[in-house]
């Protein structure tokens, strides 16, 4: 008997058998040996190695299948989001409406597409459970609000301290409670270099550290 050290042939794990060589595939007299194997298997030592390999092969098969599905679907983390089609920039007379949804620790969408010089009507919606804010500004603005609000965290009993930042570092700040929507008209700077440095961030204490930020992307315009 050539297969008495392995019990793979009893089961449906034929792929593992072929891969591991547990089954002797070339023997013409195996039919007779099989009968002896089946009859005598209980007398053999445990065949854990073969079963373990089969289990591994099964897991590998699941992983390969999952990868194939992810590839077919384009993947959830398949790199940067696709570019948006050219958009019609807003004007002061007809601002372009832009939704920014704040959730617990993220902004949606990310990035937010804007056109330098256009006027937008921001609908800032807090879809999370905690209070959030949308601060639009460059890194100096983000740093200023992070420092200011960090100092105001866990205030002593009494009136809530007013949070402020040095002149020139305020940027745009929109604070919304859970479930609240606030609309703000904003004219985007005309200089693409300035727009390219803008960041969207939340500085309610601890939120920036949790990664609550998004980028603003210059979109191509039509019209
Ligand atoms: Cu937040």
CATH number at residue 213: 2.60.40.420
In a domain, 62, yes or no: yes
Q: How many Å lie between the centroid of ligand 1 and the Cα of residue 123? A: 16
What is the pLDDT, as a whole number, of residue 77? 60
Q: How confident is the model at residue 67, as a pLDDT?
A: 40
C-alpha of residue 130 to centroid of ligand 1, in Å: 7
Specify the pLDDT at position 74: 45
pLDDT at residue number 135: 96
End-to-end CA distance of the chain: 82
Structural domain including 62 reads 8-72
Let me know: does 43 contact 37? Beta carbons within 8 Å.
no
Split the chain (223 residues) into runs of 10 and give each run's mean pLDDT: 38 37 40 40 40 45 45 55 79 97 96 95 97 96 92 72 79 95 96 95 95 94 75
Question: Tell me, what's the pLDDT at 78?
Answer: 66
Distance, CA of 191 to CA of 183 (rounded, Å): 24
Burial (CB count <10 Å: 0-12, 13-18, 19+), residue 167: exposed
172 Cα–ligand 1 center, Å: 15
Give the per-residue pLDDT at 185.
96
Does residue 165 belong to any structural domain of this protein? yes
Whose tokens are 């601060």? That residue is 135
List pLDDT tens digits, range 162-216. Answer: 788 777 788 899 999 999 999 999 999 999 999 999 999 999 999 999 999 999 9
Q: Tell me the CA–centroid distance for residue 105 and ligand 1, in Å.
A: 6
How much is the pTM?
A: 0.62
Q: How remote is the CA of residue 127 from the centroid of ligand 1, in Å? A: 11
Q: What pLDDT does 120 receive?
A: 96
Q: Are residues 214 and 125 in the same domain?
A: yes
**What pLDDT is recorded for position 82?**
67
CA of 103 relative to ligand 1 center, distance in Å? 7
68 & 176 share domain = no
């Amino acid at each position: 008997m050539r297969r008495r050290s392995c019990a793979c042939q009893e089961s449906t794990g034929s792929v593992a058998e072929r891969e591991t060589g547990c089954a002797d595939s070339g023997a013409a007299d195996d039919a007779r040996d099989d009968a002896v194997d089946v009859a005598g298997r209980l007398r053999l030592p445990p065949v854990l190695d073969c079963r373990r390999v089969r289990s591994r092969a099964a897991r590998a098969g699941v992983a390969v299948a999952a990868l194939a599905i992810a590839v077919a679907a384009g993947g959830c983390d398949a790199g940067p989001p696709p570019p948006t089609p050219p958009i019609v920039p807003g004007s002061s007379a007809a601002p372009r409406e832009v939704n920014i949804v704040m959730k617990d620790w993220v902004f949606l969408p990310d990035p937010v597409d804007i056109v330098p010089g256009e006027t937008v009507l921001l609908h800032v919606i807090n879809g999370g459970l905690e209070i959030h804010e949308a601060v639009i500004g460059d890194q100096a603005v983000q740093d200023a609000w992070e420092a200011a609000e960090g100092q105001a965290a866990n205030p002593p009993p009494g009136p809530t301290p007013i949070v402020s930042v040095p002149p020139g570092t305020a940027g745009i700040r929109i604070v919304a409670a859970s479930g609240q929507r606030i609309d703000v008209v904003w004219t985007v700077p005309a200089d693409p270099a300035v727009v390219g440095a803008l960041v969207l961030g939340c500085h309610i204490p601890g939120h920036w550290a949790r990664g609550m930020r998004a980028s603003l992307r210059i979109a191509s315009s039509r019209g």
